[in-house]
């Protein structure tokens, strides 16, 4: 039987909750832009993007909340994994269609980032991390120092996530120059 | 021993977080640099009939702001001509107008700015009125656009006093416009030719 450490579980679920909450916040702040992105992906038939542009951010917000509480954590991790998989699927379909120039919609309201294999891979890894939350935790006493590790881990994963994303965006800007 | 380990770990955490913040800042700056350097010069669209150093077709056209505009080898001028192709409906052209007029004023000792377009005369007269372009020659001619093979707007063509072409290219920013003017100063139609001349010399 596989077990995960409670510290690891806390870092993963807080980081994912933060990710989902910021994603939902961005989408709710720029609903028109998000609808545009959904339409551009050309996955959902015509009237659906309008409704989806409200439902998806609400789903993200609910998942973020569910991840925060131990009782609803399993439900939250399944819904988060489902959302992340659907984004990866939408990007993969458009990459196969050859529409590499699409904006991924990761930074609504600020800069553009094109869809890429990296983003599909990133979502795949995030899904694996999310599903790891379904595993039982090692029974051990969580001390005050563990909470320090959780804060540190959360800060570091957030920073590394942003660094990787920015590097991918830079790669496209650089290739646009040559 | 435990306390020492605790202190050491906390310090190394702090250091790693600080390094990660620094890397993030650097990565963002690199991204910003990529964005800034993107439009290096006016994009010259290859034209069959136009070569730098060769005379351009001659034209004599009435200006909407009064008088006649002459172009080409048959009509030697006292100053160079910057022929600027625009449309009264193109948004980039509108944002460039203040830049153009200020450059034309600054460089008026050697440069003569001429606007060129085609289409409805009244619409252009209104445009001239609205944008206060009365001080500059403004010609409407389909033939002119065809002769210079203008497919995209706004397009700039810089012509020497004797009617020979100096440089031409799409003008979307002030830098693009300056690159056309710089081409005259360096005596090279594009940066590439200038660099090639530098390395072979």
- Tokens 């290219």 sit on residue: B169
| Model confidence, pTM | 0.59
* Inter-chain CB proximity A177 and B23 less than 8 Å: no
* Inter-chain CB proximity B31 and A156 less than 8 Å: no
Does B124 lie in the same domain as B79?
yes
Note whether B63 and B69 are within 8 A (CB).
Answer: yes
A91 by Cβ neighbours in 10 Å (0-12 / 13-18 / 19+) ranks as buried
The DSSP letter of residue B169 is: E
Give me the number of domains chain B comprises: 2
Tokens of A144: 């005050």
pLDDT averaged over 10-residue windows placed end to end, chain A, 178 residues? 90 95 93 88 85 93 95 95 95 91 81 86 95 92 90 94 89 72
What is the per-residue pLDDT for B42? 61
Roughly what angle, to the nearest 10 degrees, separates helices A31-41 and A48-68? 110
Decide if B71 is inside a domain: yes
- What span, in angstroms and rounded, lies between the C-alpha atoms of B175 and B194? 17
Does B64 lie in the same domain as B34?
no
Smallest Cβ–Cβ distance between B30 and the set A152, A159, A170 belongs to A170
Helix (H) or strand (E) holding B170, with range, is strand B165-170
Does B34 lie in the same domain as B64?
no
* Inter-chain CB proximity A167 and B27 less than 8 Å: yes
Smallest Cβ–Cβ distance between A170 and the set B6, B21, B31 belongs to B31
Does B115 lie in the same domain as B20?
no
**Residue B78: domain span:** 59-200
Chains A, B: CB contacts under 8 A, how many?
A: 39
What is the per-residue pLDDT for B110? 85
Decide if B52 is inside a domain: no
Tell me which chain A residues have a C-beta less than 8 angstroms from the C-beta of B30: 170
Does B175 lie in the same domain as B122?
yes
* Inter-chain CB proximity A156 and B20 less than 8 Å: yes
Does B192 lie in the same domain as B106?
yes
Decide if B182 is inside a domain: yes
Neighbour count for residue A167 (Cβ, 10 Å): 15
Name the residue of chain A whose CA is nearest to B6's CA: A145
- What span, in angstroms and rounded, lies between the C-alpha atoms of B175 and B173? 5
Phi, psi at B157, each rounded to 5°: -130, 120
Phi, psi at A136, each rounded to 5°: -70, 155
Name the residue of chain A whose CA is nearest to B17's CA: A156
Sign of the Cα torsion B174, B180, B184, B190 reads positive
Does B105 lie in the same domain as B11?
no
Does B126 lie in the same domain as B66?
yes
- What span, in angstroms and rounded, lies between the C-alpha atoms of A76 and A71? 10
Nearest to A53 by CA among A77, A27, A74, A29: A27
- What span, in angstroms and rounded, lies between the C-alpha atoms of B108 and B101? 10
Smallest Cβ–Cβ distance between A166 and the set B10, B24, B38 belongs to B24
The DSSP letter of residue A9 is: H
Tell me which chain B residues have a C-beta less than 8 angstroms from the C-beta of A152: 13, 17
What is the per-residue pLDDT for A94? 93
Does B90 lie in the same domain as B132?
yes
Smallest Cβ–Cβ distance between A155 and the set B6, B17, B34 belongs to B17
What is the per-residue pLDDT for A62? 97
Best mutation target, B11, B19, B23, to test chain A (most A CBs within 10 A): B23
Chain A, window 87-146: residues with a beta carbon less than 8 angstroms from a chain B beta carbon: 145
Does B33 lie in the same domain as B63?
no
Does B162 lie in the same domain as B121?
yes
> Along the 201 residues of chain B, how does pLDDT read in single tens digits?
788 888 888 899 999 999 999 999 999 899 888 776 655 556 666 666 677 778 888 888 888 888 888 888 788 888 888 889 888 887 778 878 888 888 888 888 888 889 998 888 888 888 888 888 888 889 888 888 888 888 778 888 888 888 888 888 888 877 788 878 777 777 666 656 666 666 665
B13 in A contact zone (CB under 8 Å): yes
Phi, psi at A116, each rounded to 5°: -155, 165
Does B101 lie in the same domain as B22?
no
């Amino acid at each position: 039987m596989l077990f995960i450490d409670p510290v690891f579980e806390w870092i993963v679920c807080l980081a994912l909750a933060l990710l989902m909450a910021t994603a939902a916040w961005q989408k709710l702040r720029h609903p028109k832009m998000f609808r545009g992105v959904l339409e551009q992906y050309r996955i959902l038939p015509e009237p659906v993007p309008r409704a989806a542009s409200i439902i998806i951010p609400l789903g993200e917000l609910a998942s973020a909340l569910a991840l925060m509480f131990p009782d609803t954590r399993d439900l939250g991790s399944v819904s988060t994994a489902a959302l992340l998989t659907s984004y990866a699927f939408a990007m993969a379909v458009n990459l196969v269609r050859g529409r590499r120039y699409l904006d991924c919609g990761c930074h609504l309201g600020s800069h553009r980032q094109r869809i890429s294999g990296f983003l599909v891979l990133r979502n795949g890894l995030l899904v694996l991390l999310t599903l790891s939350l379904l595993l039982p935790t090692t029974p051990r006493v969580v001390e005050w120092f563990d909470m320090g590790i959780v804060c540190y881990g959360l800060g570091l994963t957030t920073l590394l996530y942003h660094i990787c994303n920015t590097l991918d965006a830079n790669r496209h800007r650089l290739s646009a120059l040559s | 021993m435990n306390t020492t380990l605790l202190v050491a770990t906390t310090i190394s955490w702090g250091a790693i977080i600080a390094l990660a913040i620094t890397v993030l800042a650097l990565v963002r700056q690199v991204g910003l640099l990529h964005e800034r350097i993107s439009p290096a010069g006016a994009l010259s669209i290859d034209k069959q009939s136009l070569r730098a150093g060769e005379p351009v077709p001659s034209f004599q056209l009435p200006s909407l702001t009064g008088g006649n505009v002459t172009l080409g080898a048959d009509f030697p001028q006292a100053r160079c001509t910057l022929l600027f192709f625009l449309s009264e409906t193109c948004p980039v052209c509108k944002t460039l107008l203040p830049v153009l007029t200020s450059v034309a004023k600054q460089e008026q000792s050697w440069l003569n700015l001429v606007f060129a377009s085609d289409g409805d005369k009244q619409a252009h007269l209104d445009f001239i009125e609205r944008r206060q372009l009365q001080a500059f020659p403004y010609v409407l001619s389909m033939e002119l656009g065809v002769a210079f093979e203008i497919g995209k707007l706004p397009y700039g063509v810089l012509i020497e006093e004797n009617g020979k072409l100096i440089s031409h290219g799409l003008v979307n920013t002030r830098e693009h416009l300056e690159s056309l003017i710089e081409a005259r100063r360096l005596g090279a139609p594009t940066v590439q030719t200038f660099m090639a001349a530098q390395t072979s010399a």
